[in-house]
Amino acid sequence: MNIKSIQKLVSDVINKIKTINADEAYQMMQDNNCNLIDIREINELDNSGRVEGANHIPRGMLEVYLDPNSPVFQNGQLDKDKEFVLFCAGGVRSALAVKSLKDMGYQKISHIDGGFASISSSKFKIV
């Protein structure tokens, strides 16, 4: 049995997805050009804080919530025409999530290198 390590899985994915830094994501938010999505678990938000302006969709529910027929889109919570920018705590889960959403057909999708750790030391406001 040849099971890949998480490091190998991420390294296989990283060259196939778009990665941006926290400053680029901040500028996209300022320009109203993206849906910023925090995919951390609720306990992580409770422990570390939330990013102002970010939508919270836990990683385990991401594909369900981002189904085009889901209430998230029907209620106008997210804009299908804007880029989806994902982040997690450190960048591993968000990289894998971007790959999954690409497999669903999403084109304008990226993740933030370093995740919440890099966001915390950027211009984003943590509440």
Q: pLDDT of 16-46, one tens digit each?
A: 999 999 999 999 999 999 999 999 999 999 9
Tokens, residue 94? 């968000």
User: What pLDDT is attached to residue 54?
Assistant: 98
Tokens, residue 99? 């790959």
92-104 vs 6-14: helix crossing angle, rounded to 10: 50
Residue ranges in the chain whose pLDDT is less than 50: none
Give the whole-angstrom CA distance, residue 98 versus residue 101: 5
Rounded to two decimals, the pTM is 0.95
CB atoms within 10 A of CB 78: 17
Check residue 67 and report its DSSP letter. S
User: What pLDDT is attached to residue 1?
Assistant: 84
Query: Domain spans of the chain?
Result: 17-120
User: What pLDDT is attached to residue 75?
Assistant: 86
User: What pLDDT is attached to residue 76?
Assistant: 87
| CATH code of the region 17-120 | 3.40.250.10
Residue 88: burial class (beta carbons within 10 Å; 0-12, 13-18, 19+): buried
User: What pLDDT is attached to residue 32?
Assistant: 97
User: What pLDDT is attached to residue 24?
Assistant: 98
38 bridge partner residues: 56, 87
- How would you classify the pairing of strands 109-112 and 55-56? unpaired
